[in-house]
């Protein structure tokens, strides 16, 4: 059972919120709750949580705007699972672009939510002898959790950081899609759009503003990051 880990639930439907709070509390989490976006953002900014479970449709401040402010204004990297009844790829990309790490469509099984929360609460396993990863003009300080490219600071979601670290550790080899999904979500993996959306967001932040594109995809279903100058 998980012990002493804090979870923030921001959900305006009281029955859903109570179900999540009761279930995750029984699994050892200390759960805080907010019924609107403004209160949820205040809690997320002023306190530290392992994971936030965030409803998309909220009074006061919706989940997309809350997540954007959390990432861009408060600079908080708390992993976020977004809850919504919308399940189109465009909706998922919108959530990931705002800074969400995972996406769970209502209605959902509590066991699945637990698995997703546990997966996101895991920290990167740091190799003490290799605290700074480098590939071309990209530098990733694992201790400070900061990424720069050509001296410019790059902001990523917690899942984006995990994907980038794995690709840089394996470079120049490809990392298979299944291996990436297993590391991110364990055996209970989300639908096939999730990893693709995270890779899209990673490319948007790391590659799109620059001439050289570092992240590559293989026809066999893997990804890698390479130094384009070599």
Chain segment 116-155, per-residue pLDDT in tens: 898 888 643 444 445 788 998 999 988 788 999 988 999 9
Q: Do residues 68 and 147 share a domain?
A: no
> Cis before residue 107, ω within 30 degrees of 0?
yes
The pLDDT of residue 17: 95
The answer on 95 and 143 residing in a single domain is no
Determine the average pLDDT of the residues in 220-225.
90
In the beta sheet, which residues pair with residue 215? 225
Q: Count structural domains, the chain.
A: 2
Is 135 in contact with 168 (CB distance < 8 Å)? yes
Q: Domain range holding 101? A: 5-121
Domain-located, residue 89: yes
Q: What is the pLDDT of residues 94-127, one digit of tens each?
A: 888 898 988 898 999 999 999 889 888 864 344 4
The answer, as to whether pTM is greater than 0.95, is no
pLDDT of residue 142: 82
Q: Which of 121, 141, 156 is the last residue of a domain?
A: 121
* Residue 1 banded pLDDT, cuts 50, 70, 90: very low
CATH number at residue 116: 3.40.50.2300
> pLDDT for 39-66, tens place per residue?
999 999 999 898 999 999 999 999 999 9
Q: What was the pLDDT predicted at 140?
A: 93
CA distances from 193 to 32, 94, 103, 207 (A): 30, 13, 10, 20
Strands across the sheet containing 5-10: 29-34, 5-10, 51-55, 80-84, 102-105
* Shared domain check, 164 and 107: no
Residue 49 lies in a domain: yes
pLDDT of 130 reads 58
- Which token pair is 117? 């929360």
Please give the average per-residue pLDDT across 64-72, as a whole number: 93
Among 121, 156, 190, the domain boundary falls at: 121
């Amino acid at each position: 059972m998980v012990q002493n880990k804090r979870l923030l639930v921001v959900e305006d439907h009281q029955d859903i919120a109570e179900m999540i709070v009761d279930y995750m509390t029984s699994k050892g989490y200390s759960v805080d709750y907010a019924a609107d976006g403004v209160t949820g953002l205040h809690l997320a900014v002023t306190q530290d949580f392992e994971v936030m479970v965030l409803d998309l449709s909220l009074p006061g401040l919706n989940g997309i705007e809350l997540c954007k402010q959390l990432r861009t204004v408060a600079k908080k990297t708390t992993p976020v699972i977004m809850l919504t009844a919308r399940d189109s790829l465009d909706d998922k990309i919108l959530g990931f672009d705002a800074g969400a790490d995972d996406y769970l469509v209502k209605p959902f099984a509590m066991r699945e939510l637990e698995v997703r929360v546990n997966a996101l609460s895991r920290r990167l396993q740091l190799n003490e002898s290799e605290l700074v990863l480098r590939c071309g003009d990209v530098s990733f300080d694992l201790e400070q959790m900061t990424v720069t490219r050509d001296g410019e600071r790059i902001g990523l979601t917690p899942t984006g950081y995990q994907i980038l670290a794995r690709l840089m550790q394996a470079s120049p080899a490809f990392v298979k899609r299944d291996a990436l999904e297993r590391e991110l979500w364990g055996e209970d993996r989300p639908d096939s759009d999730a990893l693709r959306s995270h890779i899209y967001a990673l490319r948007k932040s790391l590659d799109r503003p620059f001439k050289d594109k570092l992240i590559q995809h293989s026809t066999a279903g893997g990804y890698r990051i390479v130094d384009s100058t070599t």
